Chains A and B, each alone.
Chain A
Amino acid sequence: MKIAVMSCIHGNYEALNAVLSDIDDQNADKVYCLGDLVGYGPHPNAVVEMIRALDIPTCQGCWDEDIVEGLNACECSYPSVLAEKRGKLAHDWTNQVIHPEVREYLAQLPFSLRDDNLCFVHGSPHNQHEYLLPEVNAFVAMERVLATGADVLFCGHTHVPYVRSLDAGQLQIRVKVTGKSEANMSFSAPLKRIVNAGSVGEPRHGRPNATYVIYDTNDDQIILREVEYDYQKTCAAIIEKGLPPIFAWRLARGMEFAERADDPTHVCER
């Protein structure tokens, strides 16, 4: 069975359409979405309506949560004062234009989804705002996968796609129970994987193309797909709708700066 996984659409309707078309071409049997349907982009309502119309199982992303709960991001969500101010601008704009039924839909999205030995989350199994960057240390990476009970953990949030295999991982823990001597306990874990789907609507891999993932359950094959689309149309809509022009500039270049935070691999404690 072929599963398509996409994430971080961010109100980019043009990119979503292109990715859905590519998913059709790949003959995927199922489609999952890892959230962040809204934020930064000019068409949040249209994106949500499309996802709902196609009945695509979707997790709640950090942006989806913030639009429902009100902006309450932890400090680690923003790598700089400038990024935070821009994020708030995007939040305010999205908050104003979002339809009530769209907000209700975002509110009822689950935090995670399961399908057999696969788990789907937005940021990490612990938090929508936590970045599972490819360089996060192996212990943390393994802990995050084991916390789900699944073998393959699909995530997004970083906007940079990657596949990470945690091969024959072993955890050793020293345990001291009151009144007893310390004991070392070892756990061996079989192959686990973290698959980051990148971003449909706001890529940060240096090109404007949308990215998503095709996973074939029959042979465990993972393909990172990159899809061209008319990003200039989205850029024009960003400016036309009154969003900051810098959003269009960076969208056209596939760049953002989240990964430039002082400590992007830190563990979110929100």
Chain B
Amino acid sequence: MQTLEITLVTGSSGAGKTTWIQQQIRPIADTAIYLSLGSDETAIDATYLAAEIPGLTVLPVTHLANFSEQPPDKHVIYLELGFHVDLTSLILPDKMVVHRRVAVLPPGTRHPECHDWADLVVTGVKTSVALQQPHLWRSVLSGQVLDLASLNTFWYELTHGAYGTIQRAKGIFDVADGRSLYFDFVAGLPETTHLELNLPLWLNGRPDRFSGIEVVGEMLDQEAIAQTIKECCLNDQAIAYYQQQIKDSLEPGDEVA
């Protein structure tokens, strides 16, 4: 019976779990498999890694059981655990053997649960906001197309505290010109602009691919966040208008979804 060796990766919100995994996986992408546990339907990290690392196999968690029964011919599995996942509750399929447990934590952090659990503690990044009672808010936005100027305004407001104290925010958004953009914010780190994911332009109606947002913070005004995102979204008529403009400007050979 073939057993599968996996690396479990946990850590605090914003410390850099996905970044560390990305560094490990990139050189061996063709033989690597990535799963994220705890992201539910908001597969931001999985979508980001799948787009940015050609050849990487990204599986939804719902495929985990089937996957262990009929494993592909690949040997390196990274399973990312959300910061909110209870490590003691983790039960893996029989055929999966934990190769190592990794915790990514901010510098100088003493986290008894993680330190006792992990074989390796990686020093990640320090966030400037320490939350007493972290709250996680998510929303799937697949099919929605956002106006980029509005999205930039919303993101500025969100990350500057208009809707509560934010420690971490990340999102993948489809915008009017067909691009899929990855936004990433960690309190205390220098602000970066968004990253265009390595995906084809979507120029035929509402996108049939993942987009969504995840926010970790305190005192979050979830209703206001959701309402503001809704107000950034374009209607069918506007989407068609912008997509036609982009199509008209494309050169032969441009990749379009």
Contacts and interface: CB of A to CB of B under 8 A. Distances in A.
A257 B153 contact: yes
B150 A82 contact: yes
Interface residues of B, number: 16
B153 A85 contact: no
Contacts of A250: 157, 162
Contacts of B250: none
Interface string A164-179: 0000000000000000
Interface in A99-152: none
B231 interface: yes
Contact of B228 (A82, A253, A260, A261): A82
Interface string B40-72: 000000000000000000000000000000000
Contacts of B218: none
Nearest to A244: B224
B257 interface: no
The contact size tier of chain A is: 10 to 19
A80 interface: yes
B152 interface: yes
Contact of A260 (B149, B160, B231): B149
Contacts of B238: 81
B153 A249 contact: no
A81 B150 contact: yes
Nearest to A89: B231
User: SS class of chain B's interface: helix, strand, loop or mixed?
Assistant: helix
B5 interface: no
Contact of B153 (A80, A253, A262): A80
Contact of A80 (B149, B157, B160, B224): B149
A252 to B, nearest CB: 10
B234 interface: yes
Given A249-B157, A260-B149, A262-B149, A82 B232 contact: yes
B162 A260 contact: no
Contacts of A1: none
B231 A85 contact: yes
Q: Which 9 A-B pairs have the closest CB atoms?
A: A82-B150, A80-B149, A81-B147, A80-B150, A81-B150, A249-B162, A85-B231, A257-B153, A82-B231
Interface of B: 147, 149-150, 152-154, 156-157, 160, 162, 224, 228, 231-232, 234, 238
14 contacts: A81-B149, A81-B234, A82-B147, A82-B149, A82-B153, A82-B232, A83-B153, A246-B162, A249-B157, A250-B157, A250-B162, A257-B149, A260-B153, A262-B149
Interface of A: 79-83, 85-86, 245-246, 249-250, 253, 257, 260-262
